[in-house]
Structures are given as C-alpha cells and as structure tokens.
Amino acid sequence: MNELTINLQSKSNIPLYEQIYSYIKNDIQSGRIQSGEKLPSTRSLSRYLEVSRSTVELAYEQLLSEGYVESEPYRGFFVAQIEELYQLKQSPKRIPGGSVREEKRYSYDFTPNGVDLNSFPYNAWRKLSRDCLMDDRAEMFRLGEPQGEYGLREAICDYLHQARGVNCQPEQIIVGAGNDYLLMLLTTVIGHEHKVALENPTYKQAYRLFKNLSYEVCTVDMDSRGMDITKLTESNADIAFVMPSHQYPLGIVMPIKRRLALLKWANEQEGRYIIEDDYDSEFRYKGKPIPALQGYDSCDKVIYMGTFSKSIAPAIRMSYMVLPKSLLVLYQEKSSFLNSTVSKVDQLILQKFIEEGYYERHLNKTRALYKSRHDTLLGCLKSLQDRCVISGENAGVHLLLHFHNHMAEDELTARAAQKGVRVYGLTEYYIEPQVGKQATILLGYANMNEEKIQEAVRILDEAWK
Amino acid sequence: MNELTINLQSKSNIPLYEQIYSYIKNDIQSGRIQSGEKLPSTRSLSRYLEVSRSTVELAYEQLLSEGYVESEPYRGFFVAQIEELYQLKQSPKRIPGGSVREEKRYSYDFTPNGVDLNSFPYNAWRKLSRDCLMDDRAEMFRLGEPQGEYGLREAICDYLHQARGVNCQPEQIIVGAGNDYLLMLLTTVIGHEHKVALENPTYKQAYRLFKNLSYEVCTVDMDSRGMDITKLTESNADIAFVMPSHQYPLGIVMPIKRRLALLKWANEQEGRYIIEDDYDSEFRYKGKPIPALQGYDSCDKVIYMGTFSKSIAPAIRMSYMVLPKSLLVLYQEKSSFLNSTVSKVDQLILQKFIEEGYYERHLNKTRALYKSRHDTLLGCLKSLQDRCVISGENAGVHLLLHFHNHMAEDELTARAAQKGVRVYGLTEYYIEPQVGKQATILLGYANMNEEKIQEAVRILDEAWK
C-alpha cells in the first residue's frame, strides 16, 4: 500500500496529524487495512496528502505508541497483528439531571441520626478555610502524615483528655475519613483471625462492615447495664464492639462495674480487644459527661473511636481512632504506608476550629439547643404516659418509647406515617429478629425545632389512640 | 454513714455538685468508702454541707449514671460493688513540638513521585472554596451520596470520556479518599476469594495493601510490552493489577495487541477482572494521550482507577474508581451502606474546578512545564550516553537510565548521594529480588526546575565517571 486517500479537513479544530492517525486507526480496527500490511512511507504519504512530513511522522508515532503499527528498522511501518476487534463504543446518552432518590414525603421526621445544621458556624469555618489557604500555600498541598497532621492530633488529644477522660498521646491517634474507613484500617492492623461481638441491638453499619470484611461476627444480648459479659465469654469472640457511654440505639450508660468487668474480660486472654465507639457522648443534658471506658484501661486493651460527624456536621468526613500502644507498634509495621484519607487543608481548618475555641462554643451552643428540644419533647410526651414508658433521656439526640398498649411496632410506625410523621421502630436495629419484644419507638429530636416537636407529638397522640 | 466531710471551695470554678461528686468518687475508687455502704441521704448531706438539696441530688445522679452508686427504692443510695480498682492516670507530659522526621539532606532530589506545587492555581482554588461555602450552606454539610456527589461524578465522567476514552456512566463512578481506600472498598465488593497478580516491578503500595488485606498475591514478569499473559495464565491469578498506559516504574506503554490479549484472558473465565491503575496518563509530551484499556473493554471486565493526586496535588485526597456494571450491582448490594470518604465541600470545589475549565488549564500548564523539564533533562543526559541508555521518556514524570558500565545500582546511588544528589534504584520496585539485572536508575523531574536539572546532571556526570 502506498497511498491512503484521507479526506483532510484543514479548517477543522482537530490537528491534521490527529486526522491521519484516526483515519488509519479506524481502518485497522475495522479490518480495512490488514495486519502485516506495510503503511506508505512518511515521505510518500506526506507528498500525497500535501502535508509536512513531520505531521505524518507524528501520526505514525501515535499509532506506534498505541501499538497499532510496528516499526521495523530500515523497512518501515507495518500494521500489527491484532487478534480480535474491539470497538470503542460511543457512550450512550445519559439521562440528564442528578440521580433521583425516591423518598416518601413526611411533614415531620423524628430521625435518630439528625444533626441541626442551622447552628453550624459557617462564617467561622469560612474564615478559617480562607486563612488556611492564605498562608503556607505549597505546604498545604504536599502529601501529609499518614496518621494525620501532628497539630490536629495534638488538638484532638487535649480535647479527649479534658472532655472524655481519654488517656493518650498524639502518637496513638489516627485521623481518618469516617468511622467506616478507620474500621477498615484497623482490620489491616489486627488481621482477620478474630471473632467480633457486637451488642444487640446495635449500630448496624459496624455489623455489616465486619461481615463484609469476612470477619466472624456475632451479637451478644444486653441487660439494663449493657453487654452481658457471661454471654460475651461464651460467644468465644475476642473483640467486643461496644458503646459504653451512650449505647445506640438503647441509650444505656454502662455503669462502672460492668466497665471493669469488660476490661477484666479483655485482660484475661491475649489478643482480646475492646472497640469503644464513643459516637455522641458530647451531648449530655444532666451533670457531667460520662468518662470514656478508655480512661479506665490500664492494660492497653481499648481501641477508642470518635467522630466529628455528630458534633460538627456529617459531611465533614473526619473521625479518629486511639490505638493502644501494642497495636500502634503493629500499625507502624504493617499499615503506616497507607496515606491519610483526609485532605491537609481540612485537617488544618479543624485544628484551628478546635484550638481557637470555636469547637467548644459550638458544642455548648448545640448542647443547649438539643437540651431545649429534649425538654420540650419530654414535656409533650406526658400526654402519652398512659400508653408508654420513656427511656434513654438526658443524653444523645433521641429517646425511646416502650409501649404497653398492645399495639405492634409496625402499626405504630404505619399510623404515624399515615399522618405524615416519620418515627423509627427499634426492631430494625436488631441483628437477629426478636420474638415477643415490647413495641419500642425511637424519637430523634436534633433536627426538629420546638414548634415542630409540639405539632408532631400532638399528631402522634391522635394516631396512637 | 451519715456524714461526709467535704472541704467545699465555694469560690472555685468547679461547681459545688462536681466537687461533691469527685470527692465521693475518689473515696469509692480508693476504697475509703466500701461497697455496700449507704450514702447519707440527700437531705442530711445538704444540711451538713450547707448547700442546696438539688446540688447534692445532682452529684448523686452523676455517681448513679456512672455506676459508682446504686439507688434502692425507699432505702437510698448504696456504693456499688466494684471488683477491681482502676485508676485514671494523669497522662504523662508530652514532648513539645511536632513529630520529627529524620531525613538526610540532599541538594537535589530526583524523586519519581514529585509534583510541582508552585504551579498550583491557589487563587482559583481559594475562590472556588469561598464560593462553595457561600451558597447552599446547610446542604454542604449534610451527609452526601455514598458514591460521591452526582455532579462531581458527571464532571469526572465527561473528562474520562474525552481525555481517556473511558466508556462509563456517572452511576459507575465511586469517588473516594485516595487509591488505597478505593482498593479497600473494592475488596468489600469482590470478597476475599481471589488471587491478585501484579506486574514486577510495580507500585509497591498496591502490593502491600493486597497482602495486608489477606489476599493471595503474586507477581508476573514483564517483557517490553507489559505483563506476560502466558505467565499470568500460569499464575492462576484471577485479578490482574496493571498500569497499561504508562507502567510504573518502567514507563512501558502496553500496545494494543497485548491489551486485547489481556482482555481476552479476563473474558476466558468468570470472576476474572483487570484493575487498570491509570495514575498519571495526563502527562504525555508527544502526540495524543494513550487511551485507557477500559475503553476497549466490551465484556465488563475492567475496574478503572484514577486520581487527582498527581494531576492536582497529593494532599487533595480524591481518587475515583469506575466499576464494570456487574460489579456495580454487587457494590450496591453489599457496600453502598458505607459513607463517602470525601467531604462534600471538597467535592464541590473539585467539580467547579473541572466544570469551569480550571482543571484543563492547569493540566495544560503543568504538562508544558513538565515537558520542558523533560526536554532539558534529556538534553543534559547526552553527556552520559557513553555509560547508559534512556527509556521511559515522553510520558509521566520520570525516566530510566540503564547502565552498561558495570557499575552496581548501590554504587550509583551512593556516589550520587555523596555529592548531594538523590537518585532512585529500580531494584526497590521489585517485589522479588532480581539477580543479575542491569543497574537502572530512575530520575523524576516534576519537582526540579531547569537550572537545578542542569546542575544536578553535571554532578551525576562527575560522580558516575
């Protein structure tokens, strides 16, 4: 083959070399030029097409580097042998607009996972964000420390010590993009030879994650003080995932005696650990916060996890994990090559947010806000006293109603839904289905103002008559 | 016990109820008050201490909620039975200042992982960041889509289609905080029953990660066209991790024939997949970019991964993964409950950065910058022609020198280090040690300006004489 009749568009936006390249590539892909065939020399093709020789050379080089043609010294360019034809299909037209989430519309939603975002200090966050991007520019975009920036870890360490009684050094803290990620990271440290026990009911996300990561998982029943230690021992699990300061969803505070029994369990055998998920202990409306279990641990057995999702905002993807010293050594050996999952700018914003006192003010403000919603809700719920008993009050952002009017959970949620109020049944938090349990409804109040709470409880009172 | 002599400090910052609570707690912890002992009634203690009864009640409630005391109806408060005494120790004083990284000082560093951060468009990024925090405030801090915001996925999809020939829908894209995280996420989708084959030499991070996640891992040797498919088949692996557009560290572009053979391999057996790590294909200095392998895949076998760490900045923790449709179904079933690891604000900034053309301009600017450094380095290296052959040029941000002067790699790096120039031996990229391989040095040029390149090569020329 000495000539290729290519209809070049000299006025096109596409460079001439690319037109030549595309034409030949298409011909090879479609089989119009057979493998083994010799391409015209760059000199003859450039003369034939009336373009410069370097234009043709560029086209040939591109074909060469993608492997469509091969060059043989002193002989020229030959079409490569391509076993099968794969076509690059045009991607089909997309449905315009964003993804559609179907969701039933409710006028009132007592979600237990709400966060009040109106009280978020946007101006402070924006100011800090601007400051961080002003100074130390290149440094902000260089790869950071795998465990998170040291300054942020110091700020978290001080906060944990003062507010949660957590006993650690910044060296033990790992900052990561959410609890899910940190649990994944933890599995690379502790390996897969473990059996994990979770409370029943529990935070289902953690249960599913361990399952997905191919762990042996089980649940252990709770009594009024938290996870039953005898049953934990019987389960043969060696990792206990617990929420001692405010169990989700039951709202139980694990008393000191049970905490010590749990620590004793962990200490009885090598390789046993406790994962303490301290997800919302910032919110307590009576007395001082309950100190973290980690603070009582003198045997290096507690892996402490905390998050800013509840206390600042869910879209701030920042959580942290405090490793006991023995696991820290393992982490450094096995997993410290993994890069941080949080951008340096975000870490610095958060560090300043804590250091300059914004976090404390924000916590106090939201605590006061949630307390007044909590109090309003408790006040309104007096009208339901004849049908249910309340538990889980004084902490967190939800409480529970235990019904004794023989209505089933399904019926309670359905009747509320009919009138536009979304409430949540406890059943969905159980891993194994519970037979004959009392109907229990969760009411979250973080995301409802007092007027809405009053209106919604009035509707529930009607619906549940 | 009817009286507790507590020395209350009425002028202290610590509230009175907390002083009472701490005193009793300490006495219980130290054993001064025995378990089973009855506390004075709130009425008698308040009279004795001359404080209001509600102050004592608050202290008792705190002790009750932490489990130090128990309440018996009509009888009063009794000290709980606590099996062992654990003391909350004061955290030892920390060493002030940040963590110290020891690193030998070099005047010149040819790191192959460099990124030029001076050309980063700080002002644009800051402006976009400000804009994002201005509008839609509460929405920005609400929990986002697990796969990443749809708008960002659309922007990435369009970019991938145009620039990389990747054939996908935004629904197939998952945005995540770095490649390491996305690989972890992928393992929750595909499960652990796989054997992963990586190129040898390869990107060691991926090898270590699969190892850590308890996968069976092996390496497959490469020839001048990439991974050897016969050896891949013999390895019994069912997942091939490859970098077809610009192999790291060898810089090989996998020709179309090998690509089709690899796709054929994947299609021969159910459960086989190819992970295409397309980490730096933005940088090509001659002709058009090499299209991604994913674009040739008509059998739903390629998992495509890309990152903004190389093309924007390492500290921007944003990568993405394009799942074939069959795996997307699995992801939705098994892993879509996992929350996104990237903050919504950062996602929106990046979306606008792409949509408003900043990304394209930034890419063109850095490509031109790296090209001129690449050209300068190639020019300077002519002085070493008598000792080595160059490969891996025209793409990426590093090239390779293969020595035929019988100097060992160790000697080459050591001699350079002695004169303050840091260069990198190929050996450290091999998983299994290679015997009798030619000494090969990597020179990265992204982070060195032209003057420094000239000076450094002059020093290397001397050092390697």
A230 C-beta neighbours (distance < 10 Å), count: 10
Q: A369-410 pLDDT, tens per residue?
A: 999 999 999 999 999 999 999 999 888 899 999 999 889 999
Residue A140: the pLDDT is 78
Both structure tokens of B430: 């091999």
The distance of A295 to chain B (nearest Cα, Å) reads 6
Residue A2: the pLDDT is 52
- The type of residue at B162 is Q
Q: What's the rounded Cα separation, in Å, for the pair B323 and A352?
A: 38
Given its phi and psi angles, is residue A302 left (phi above 0), alpha (psi -120 to 50 degrees) or beta? beta
Both structure tokens of B4: 């507790």
Comparison of pLDDT for B28 and B323, the residue scoring more: B323
pLDDT band at B89 (very low <50, low <70, confident <90, very high): very low
Interchain contact, B314 vs A140, CB within 8 Å:
no
Chain B's closest residue to A55, CA to CA, is B287
Q: Which residues pair with A256 in a beta bridge?
A: none
B387 C-beta neighbours (distance < 10 Å), count: 17
* Residue in B432, B431, B438, B400 with CA at minimum distance from that of residue B250: B400
Interchain contact, A314 vs B143, CB within 8 Å:
yes
Q: Which residues pair with B321 in a beta bridge?
A: B174, B305
- The type of residue at B120 is F
In this prediction, residues A104-131 reach a mean pLDDT of 86
| b/e per residue A1-38 (b: at least 16 CB within 10 A) | eeebebeeeeeeeeebbbbbbbbbbebbbeeebebeee
Both structure tokens of B13: 């910052």
pLDDT band at B11 (very low <50, low <70, confident <90, very high): confident
A70 C-beta neighbours (distance < 10 Å), count: 16
In this prediction, residues B137-153 reach a mean pLDDT of 88
A168 contacts in chain B (CB < 8 Å): 91
A129 contacts in chain B (CB < 8 Å): 129-130, 133
Our measurement of the distance from residue B127's CA atom to the centroid of its chain's CA atoms, rounded to an integer in Å, reads: 26
- Give the closest of B118, B142, B188 to A315, CB-based: B142
Find the helix or strand (DSSP H, E) in which B109 lies: strand B108-109
Q: Please, how many CA atoms are within 13 Å of residue A262, restricted to the half-sphere of its CB?
A: 30
* Residue in B129, B175, B206 with CA at minimum distance from that of residue B339: B175
- The type of residue at B378 is L
**What is the DSSP pairing of strand B108-109 with strand B388-391?**
unpaired
Q: Is B1 exposed, middle or buried (0-12, 13-18, 19+ CB in 10 A)?
A: exposed
- Give the closest of A84, A125, A313 to B260, CB-based: A84
Chain A's closest residue to B169, CA to CA, is A94
Q: B386-425 pLDDT, tens per residue?
A: 999 999 988 889 999 999 988 999 999 999 999 999 999 9
- Give the closest of A61, A122, A192 to B214, CB-based: A192
Residue A175: the pLDDT is 97
Q: B177-227 pLDDT, tens per residue?
A: 999 999 999 999 998 889 999 999 998 889 999 998 889 999 999 999 999
Interchain contact, B177 vs A177, CB within 8 Å:
yes
Length of chain A: 465
B170 contacts in chain A (CB < 8 Å): 94, 99
Compute, in degrees rounded to 10, the torsion defined by CA atoms B373, B377, B379, B382: -170
In this prediction, residues A451-459 reach a mean pLDDT of 96
pLDDT band at A100 (very low <50, low <70, confident <90, very high): very low
Pick from A23, A62, A141, A301 the residue to mutate for testing the B interface (most B CBs within 10 Å): A141
* Residue in A323, A324, A319, A314 with CA at minimum distance from that of residue A341: A319
Our measurement of the distance from residue B368's CA atom to the centroid of its chain's CA atoms, rounded to an integer in Å, reads: 27
pLDDT band at B102 (very low <50, low <70, confident <90, very high): very low
Given its phi and psi angles, is residue B362 left (phi above 0), alpha (psi -120 to 50 degrees) or beta? alpha
Q: What's the rounded Cα separation, in Å, for the pair B267 and B243?
A: 19
The distance of B208 to chain A (nearest Cα, Å) reads 9
pLDDT of A217 higher than 50: yes
Pick from A58, A77, A299, A341 the residue to mutate for testing the B interface (most B CBs within 10 Å): A341
φ, ψ for residue A297, nearest 5 deg: -85, 110
Chain A's closest residue to B331, CA to CA, is A212
The contacts found for A156-159 with CB under 8 angstroms, 24 or more apart, are A156/A306, A156/A320, A156/A354, A157/B94, A159/A354, A159/A359
Both structure tokens of A323: 């490793």
User: With pLDDT > 90 as the criterion, what percentage of chain B qualifies?
Assistant: 51
In this prediction, residues A208-216 reach a mean pLDDT of 90
B344 contacts in chain A (CB < 8 Å): 315
Q: A302-351 pLDDT, tens per residue?
A: 999 999 988 888 888 899 999 999 999 999 999 999 999 999 989 999 99
Place of tokens 């990426």: B396
Pick from B21, B69, B224, B341 the residue to mutate for testing the A interface (most A CBs within 10 Å): B341
Place of tokens 């004075």: B40
Q: What's the rounded Cα separation, in Å, for the pair B206 and A72?
A: 36
Q: What's the rounded Cα separation, in Å, for the pair B340 and B344?
A: 9
Chain A's closest residue to B62, CA to CA, is A287
Residue A86: the pLDDT is 43
A82 contacts in chain B (CB < 8 Å): 256-257, 260
A350 contacts in chain B (CB < 8 Å): none
In this prediction, residues A118-127 reach a mean pLDDT of 85
Cβ atoms A313, A120 nearer than 8 A = yes
Q: Helices A450-463 and A409-418 meet at what angle, rounded to 10?
A: 120
φ, ψ for residue B35, nearest 5 deg: -65, 145
B77 contacts in chain A (CB < 8 Å): none
* Residue in A124, A115, A174 with CA at minimum distance from that of residue A355: A124
Find the helix or strand (DSSP H, E) in which A218 lies: strand A216-223
